Each structure stands twice: as structure tokens, then as C-alpha cells.
């Protein structure tokens, strides 16, 4: 999923206008114990997306493309065509 995103950057940020993707369990919350993260609902499968100033349609299309690509990889189906 993360590798298929085109308009989101894998990074942490406390502010800014760029669109970011983050995996809290190994980034912002990595210092917490696994039990503490679990109590907060944070596991390694959680991805946080912070939307920036790009157009809504652009970001939604990017997220859908990444989700379809990830599904194709785990299901063995052909990946969707890229634009």
C-alpha cells in the first residue's frame, strides 16, 4: 500500500501542508510497549494518512489506487492499470 502511494510521503510531521503516510507502531509510537500500543488500538497494520493541500479528488484516487494495488498483491490478481 505505502509503496503505491504517489501523493503521500512516508514521514512524521507536526505541521505542514504536505500529504503524509505514517505507520504509528514503528514510527511515532515505537517507544511504547506492545501492550500499551494494543490498548490504544495501534498495531503494525495501522496506517495514518494526513491529507495536505492537494485536491481531494487527487488524494482519494491515490488512496484507492494504493488499496487496489495492495489487494492485487495479496490476492494474486493483476494490479490495476496506472494512470
For residues 83 and 65, the model is more confident at 65
Instruction: List, for residues 18-72, the tens digit of each pLDDT value.
Output: 999 999 999 999 999 999 999 999 999 999 999 999 999 999 999 999 999 999 9
Burial class (CB in 10 A: 0-12, 13-18, 19+), 47: middle
Q: Which domains does the chain have, with CATH numbers?
A: 2-75 (3.90.1150.10)
pTM reported for the whole predicted model? 0.79
- HSE-CB of 35 using CA atoms within 13 angstroms: 0
Q: Which three cell numbers stand for residue 4?
A: 503505491
Using an 8 Å Cβ cutoff, are 58 and 46 in contact?
A: no
pLDDT of 68 reads 93
Using an 8 Å Cβ cutoff, are 80 and 14 in contact?
A: no
Amino acid at each position: 500500500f505505502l509503496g503505491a502511494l504517489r501523493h503521500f510521503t512516508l514521514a512524521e510531521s507536526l505541521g505542514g501542508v504536505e500529504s503524509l503516510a505514517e505507520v504509528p507502531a514503528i514510527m511515532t509510537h515505537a517507544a511504547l510497549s506492545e501492550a500499551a500500543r494494543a490498548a490504544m488500538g495501534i498495531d503494525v497494520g495501522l496506517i495514518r494518512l494526513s491529507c495536505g493541500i492537494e485536491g481531494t479528488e487527487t488524494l482519494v484516487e491515490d488512496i484507492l489506487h494504493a488499496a487496489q494495488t495492495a489487494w492485487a498483491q495479496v490476492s494474486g490478481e493483476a494490479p490495476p492499470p496506472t494512470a
